[in-house]
Amino acid sequence: MTKIVLGIESSCDETACALVNDRREVLASVVWSQYDEHRRFGGVVPEIAARAHLEKCDVLIQECMNQAGIKFSDLSGVAVAAGPGLIGGVLVGVMSAKAIAFCHNLPFIAVNHLEGHALTAMLTNDVEFPYLLLLTSGGHCQLLEVMGVGKYKKLGATIDDSAGEAFDKVAKMLDIGYPGGPNLEKRAVLGNPKAFQLPIPMKGRDNCDFSFSGLKTAVRVIVDKQSKITETFQNDMCASFQYAVVEQMRDRLNHAIRLFKKDFPNAKDLVVGGGVAANTAVRQMLEDVAQKHQMNFSAPPVRLCTDNGVMIAWAGLQRLNAGLTDAFDFKARPRWPLEELAQKDK
């Protein structure tokens, strides 16, 4: 019998849920972005996010079930992003998932949000373990060796801001609106990436770490000196900033690939996940790097890079298949590093 898992995501500013089966089919998927709630604050306000999740979560779950035309009793399990994330929102998803699982006597699966991003490409592309993953989102920027479900080795990570955070903060500085990342990308296309010589932090360092805070400060210094912020200035700064981010990622990836090839000489897959993976310049750079190192680059479609329910349902299904379900006393976690999964699953 086909297994169907319901996945719920509420860890940041998207309320989302989806139904995925073990034939790699998405039976239903709904994403409700809270842009209108947060726009006037120029960023996500945790308390407002939690309340909005509470308002929408059960409505979206019902919509998903209606879309697929199935009942809760047809499910094989209920998965939820149980962390890391803004704890108020995470709690809403976790309580909803526990309630459904408990009432219908179904397995409850606590999914690490990052594992959701990490495994998405396996749903949409023909990717094999082990693969090298660039996980780049609003909360994280890491390079990981993915050996299997729950099996991750971190090669490096940001020592300060995440890439998404830098995109969002620079967008705010330039006053180009929220959500920052997608708006900045649109403006970058119209600007000159060589207009400003911004630093490329970490370039050439003998590790796989990232840093974006100095880059953000460099933008701030130039913006503060500018007497008038014109549209051309905004576009040029967006293009120059995006260029510096992409070049840092290229340098860090080249280093990570050397380590990955030492660990797994026959592995060929380079994968990306997380919201910043929606960026075309980032994807293009990954494609180039993969080609240079004779690797196969796989990226989920853009709608599955930013937060969604499909990635949680899919990761939940993988965990269910591996017998990795959770007890009802599982606590939502604001912090939850991926490497801790291996210890928990032992």
What is the total residue count of the chain? 346
193 binds ligand KG4 (CB under 6 A): no
Q: Which two tokens stand for residue 238?
A: 């967006």
Among 306, 313, 320, 326, binds ligand KG4 (CB under 6 A): 306
Q: Tell me: does residue 276 bind ligand KG4 (CB under 6 A).
A: yes
Neighbour-count burial of 71, counting CB atoms closer than 10 A to its CB (0-12 exposed, 13-18 middle, 19+ buried): exposed
Contacts of 248 (CB under 8 A, 6+ apart): 200, 201, 202, 203, 210, 211, 212, 215
Question: Which listed option, Zn ion, ligand KG4, none, makes contact with residue 181 (CB within 5 to 8 Å by class)?
Answer: ligand KG4
> Edge-to-edge strands of the sheet including 151-157?
151-157, 141-148, 131-136, 269-273, 296-298
Contact with Zn ion (CB under 5 A): which of 14, 236, 307, 326?
307
Q: How far is the CB of 85 from ligand KG4 (least distance, A)?
A: 7
36 near 13, Cβ under 8 Å? Answer: no
Which residue among 29, 96, 136, 137 contacts Zn ion (CB under 5 A)?
137
Q: Select from 56-64, 160-168, 194-202, 261-269 the region that touches ligand KG4 (CB under 6 A).
A: 160-168
Does an H or E element contain 57, and which? helix 46-68
- By CB under 6 A, what part of segment 315-334 binds ligand KG4? none
* Mode of pairing for the β-strands spanning 131-136 and 108-111: unpaired
Instruction: For the CB of residue 33, give the shortest distance to ligand KG4 in the complex, in Å.
Output: 9
Distance of alpha carbon 190 from alpha carbon 171, whole angstroms: 15
Judged by CB under 5 A, which stretch of 134-142, 246-254, 258-266, 326-334 contacts Zn ion?
A: 134-142
Contact 81, 95 (CB under 8 A): no
CB of 29 to Zn ion, least distance (A): 15
Closest CA to 323 of 77, 114, 132, 48: 77
Q: Does position 275 bind ligand KG4 by CB under 6 A?
A: yes
Residues between 27 and 86 with contacts to ligand KG4, criterion CB under 6 A = none
> Which residue, 134 or 295, is less far from Zn ion as judged by CB?
134
Residue whose beta carbon is closest to ligand KG4: 275
Contacting positions for ligand KG4 (CB under 6 A): 12, 137-139, 164, 167-168, 179-182, 185, 274-276, 278-279, 306-307
